[in-house]
A and B are shown apart, each in its own frame.
Chain A
Amino acid sequence: MQYIAEIMPALLKGTWTTLWVFVITLVCSLPLGLVLSPGLGSRSKNPLAVALRWLLSAYTWIFRGTPLLLQMIFIFYGLPTIHIVFDRNSAVLVTFILNYAAYFAEIFRGGYQAIDKGQFEAATVLKMSRWQTFRYVIMGQITKIVLPSIGNETINLIKDSSLVYVIGIGDLLRAGNIAASRDVTLVPYLLVGVIYLFLTFILTVAQKRVEKRFAFYR
């Protein structure tokens, strides 16, 4: 018990890192993904739209197709060779936001395409503008469709945040790592596991609540 009390401050400090990576990434990547998704999902043959679609597809392919760890290494150690320099924290946030926005953009695209074409037509004949159609008819329906997938990704994000150790940032897992190798015991890892479970438990409850809020219609 005394040992737990001894290492707890270090673990909580690590948890703080985990939390800010999580919160800032989520707050930035969700809207970014939402904004990018129409460009990704558009079927327009307009050359500009086609070019944008290609660009966005390349972006999501690269960021979903390579390990997050590798992306962080490239952005922190690789980009300085072309004179783009980030400090550690910014490198983490840039990588995480770009990576998660790519996933979110694909999830929102799926949600957008799952909506019946008739809903758009109904809004059109009711004289709604494109923006009104999106805001008042489509957005709520997309949200309901994507909630389970978004919930999954947020839980992944909590766990993925442990990868920041690769560019030398001390998060929860790294704090546990240090204590475990110093004191030759598994107890820190056990505590780390409990803290992760606690965090994901909160997320799961939150997700259930939000889904329930959208359960009033089918």
Chain B
Amino acid sequence: MLELSGISKQFGSRNILNGLNLTVPDGQTLAIVGPSGVGKTTLLRIIAGLESADAGTIAWDGQATIPEQLREQGILGVVFQGFELFPQYTVRRNITLAPTLTGATKAAADARANTLMEQLELTDQADAYPYTLSGGQKQRVAIARALALDPQVLLYDEPTSALDPALRDNVAALVNQLKQGGMTQVVVTHDMDFARSVADNVFTMPTGTEA
């Protein structure tokens, strides 16, 4: 269970996050919704440890922790809005790079990549470079790359924003499929329909206030 309490963040004179509390039970999907500019992405980045909160604590399984530690323990995986695939590597290498650099054998990383590519329908693209892929394929690679490190929590930043509407249902299906497998997920989105189709809980971000 991931618990956030009293998370605050100020940008200039604006309180983006104001003592925010959130709980994500194991195996559930939380959608964080709200119009752009209210700090959804900032909140996700704080959980991922890419930005630091001005105040507040994070706990994992009841133990106080810091995001950097969660990251180091391999608990968190992140799917970025812009995917951020490594352009100079094939799909397969994008998926196996981090595992092999963090101790997995090449054979084990390859085997895991094969399973993931099969699961995410990327097998035909294994040797393709990211620039040749469609938006939906890039996103599946980004998800596979995060899953390759076996995280327990997967964070998504606006997973539908770069896709055409038709593909939205595919992403929803994928998120739900991962939920079946027990994955805890946090999805930041401005798309209410998408949020409803994947989330156990929908959290609407309060708008920020002037400090």
Task: Name A's B-contacting residues (CB within 8 A).
Answer: 116, 118-119, 121-128, 132, 136-137, 140-141, 144, 216-218
Contacts and interface: CB of A to CB of B under 8 A. Distances in A.
Contacts of A144: 88
Contact of A127 (B85, B86, B102): B102
A125 B77 contact: yes
A127 B68 CA distance: 10
Query: Is chain A's interface secondary structure helix, strand, loop, or mixed overall?
Result: helix
Contacts of A218: 87, 129, 131
Interface residues of B, number: 26
A136 B89 CA distance: 10
B175 to A, nearest CB: 18
Given A116-B82, A124-B49, 13 more contacts: A121-B84, A122-B78, A125-B146, A126-B149, A127-B71, A127-B74, A127-B149, A128-B102, A136-B101, A137-B86, A144-B88, A216-B129, A217-B129
Nearest to B68: A124
A45 to B, nearest CB: 15
Interface of B: 48-50, 71-72, 74, 76-78, 80, 82, 84-88, 97-98, 101-102, 129-131, 145-146, 149
Given A217-B88, A217-B129, A218-B131, A124 B80 contact: no
B87 A125 contact: no
A122 B86 contact: yes
B88 A141 contact: yes
Nearest to B155: A125
Q: Which 10 A-B pairs have the closest CB atoms?
A: A126-B98, A122-B84, A118-B84, A218-B131, A125-B78, A217-B129, A140-B88, A217-B87, A127-B102, A132-B101
Contact of B50 (A125, A127, A140): A125
Nearest to B48: A125
A141 B88 CA distance: 7
Contacts of A126: 97-98, 145-146, 149
A121 B72 CA distance: 14
Given A216-B129, A217-B88, A217-B131, A124 B98 contact: no
A80 B208 CA distance: 66
Contacts of A136: 97, 101
Nearest to A118: B84
B50 A124 contact: yes
Nearest to A137: B86
Contacts of B71: 124-125, 127
Given A127-B98, A136-B97, A140-B88, A122 B131 contact: no
Given A127-B149, A132-B101, A218-B131, A122 B80 contact: yes
B80 A121 contact: yes
Contacts of B87: 141, 217-218
Contacts of A128: 98, 101-102
19 contacts: A122-B84, A122-B86, A124-B49, A124-B50, A124-B71, A125-B48, A125-B49, A125-B77, A125-B146, A126-B145, A126-B149, A127-B98, A127-B102, A127-B149, A128-B98, A128-B102, A141-B87, A217-B88, A217-B131
A23 B88 CA distance: 29
Contacts of A141: 87-88
A217 B102 contact: no
